[in-house]
Structure 1
Amino acid sequence: MKFNISYFKLFISFVSFIVFTNSLYAQEIVMKGNPASIISSTAQIPSNAEYFYTSGFTALAIKPELKDGEYEKYGDTKTQAISVLERLKSALEAEGYSFKDVFSMHVFVAPDTKSGEFDFKGWNEAYKQYFGTEETPNKPIRATVGVATLVNPHKFIEIEVIAAKSPR
């Protein structure tokens, strides 16, 4: 059997193409889930991605002149969630990340002291202003848990995020 260099070059080109294509695909962050859901079910992050982690952020006072314990100092769950999301957005941007890079969230919701109820609706309304939008179409995987209280009992939500970027 005679060795044909043309077939060998074609074979090497084909193998190179497959390896290159697979390595490109493996570099992407892949989020999957029900398109109708406000969150993703799974996230696949390449092993060489760059990560950014935050601790749990809580709301800043919207009326700092008020005493702790006055409801209006921090507001309701939705108001606090917007405050937290804005703080997270700033922290991400300071490190070169954005909400588009967030793939995971852990959210702790405590009962609103006025109603005694968990305001998951208010939290989700705030969330939908930042994720699953035209500006930020991604929807992170997310765990939202009801807790008895946070360290400050006048704060009703604490959020931590993990962001990742595919290598360039």
Structure 2
Amino acid sequence: MKRRTKILTATTLAGTLLTGGTALADAGGWWPGPKTVRVMLPEGQSNPAIANGVALGGEVAVYQSSGLGPSALNPSAPEGTPERYTDPSLTEGAEGVTITEAQSLVVLRNIRTNLEAAGVTPADVITMKAYLAKPPGAETADYAGWNRAYRQYFANVDLKSQQVVAVPMGTSAPKPPLLANKARPARATMELASLAVRGWLVEVEVTATYKKR
């Protein structure tokens, strides 16, 4: 299977608290304690999209989701088409939303439901892998559409000011995100030749940590 990979990286930022019990590595000691989650973020950025990496102590309990795709929530679209796997209610009123972006919004909402059923939330996500297929007629996968949808559920709270950051949907003006969330997972995004279900353009898997007890 032909695969094209894009992994976003940067440098380190020290001394900031992220989400529920998740602290950034400080300059004096990267090695995590037994029940510690240490996240390394890009230096000098108050609103980075993703982490450079994450270290887990040996006693941290984790949840690993399966790869989840979009649900077929658009009955007006033909079966097996990418449009079938969108939810028009999520993009109502927005302009210029791409098909990958629309599917990604459904996938990320499915991820949220999956996590909450397991006793964690999107705020507890530490790693993410996203698999994209190119839309019909396109030369490559729609990374920009995926990234816009991602910001609707992740990395949309400024780490310095703690203010929720408005994000765009399609070409519409930025608005408050669908879910305010500080979490910046360590993330990889890959283009695949195809996904498991005809019509899918997006599949996502995540790892989340349980809070200390």
Contiguous gaps of at least 5 residues in structure 2: 1-28, 87-98, 158-179
User: CA 1:145 to 1:70, structure 2 compared with 1: closer, same or farther past 3 Å?
Assistant: closer
Contact 2:81 2:198 in 1 (8 A): no
Residue equivalent to 1:141: 186
User: CA 1:63 to 1:114, structure 2 compared with 1: closer, same or farther past 3 Å?
Assistant: farther
Segment drifting more, 92-101 vs 31-40: 31-40
TM-score by length of 1: 0.78
What is the CA distance between 1:68 and its match in structure 2?
Answer: 1.8
What is the CA distance between 1:153 and its match in structure 2?
Answer: 3.4
2:174 is equivalent to residue 129 of structure 1: no
Once residues 165 and 87 of structure 1 are traced to their aligned partners in structure 2, the CA distance between those partners, rounded to angstroms, is: 19
2:129 is equivalent to residue 118 of structure 1: no
Residue equivalent to 1:31: 39
- Residue by residue over 1:56-94, the C-alpha shift from the partner in whole angstroms, topping out at 9 and shown as x without a partner, is 000011313543234421241111111011011011111
Alignment of 1:1-168 (within 5 A): 26=33, 27-35=35-43, 36=45, 37-64=48-75, 66-75=77-86, 76-134=99-157, 135-168=180-213
User: CA 1:32 to 1:102, structure 2 compared with 1: closer, same or farther past 3 Å?
Assistant: same
Contiguous gaps of at least 5 residues in structure 1: 1-21
* DSSP 3-state at the match of 1:167: coil
User: CA 1:102 to 1:65, structure 2 compared with 1: closer, same or farther past 3 Å?
Assistant: same
Query: Higher Cα Rg: structure 1 or 2?
Result: 1
Segment drifting more, 26-35 vs 143-152: 26-35
Identity of aligned residues (%): 28
Q: Which amino acid aligns with 1:148?
A: A
Once residues 151 and 73 of structure 1 are traced to their aligned partners in structure 2, the CA distance between those partners, rounded to angstroms, is: 15
Contact 1:28 1:166 in 2 (8 A): no
Once residues 124 and 85 of structure 2 are traced to their aligned partners in structure 1, the CA distance between those partners, rounded to angstroms, is: 28
Residue equivalent to 2:95: none
Over the aligned positions, Cα root-mean-square deviation in angstroms equals 1.9
Once residues 185 and 122 of structure 2 are traced to their aligned partners in structure 1, the CA distance between those partners, rounded to angstroms, is: 9
TM-score by length of 2: 0.63
Structure with higher helix content = 1
Once residues 191 and 82 of structure 2 are traced to their aligned partners in structure 1, the CA distance between those partners, rounded to angstroms, is: 20
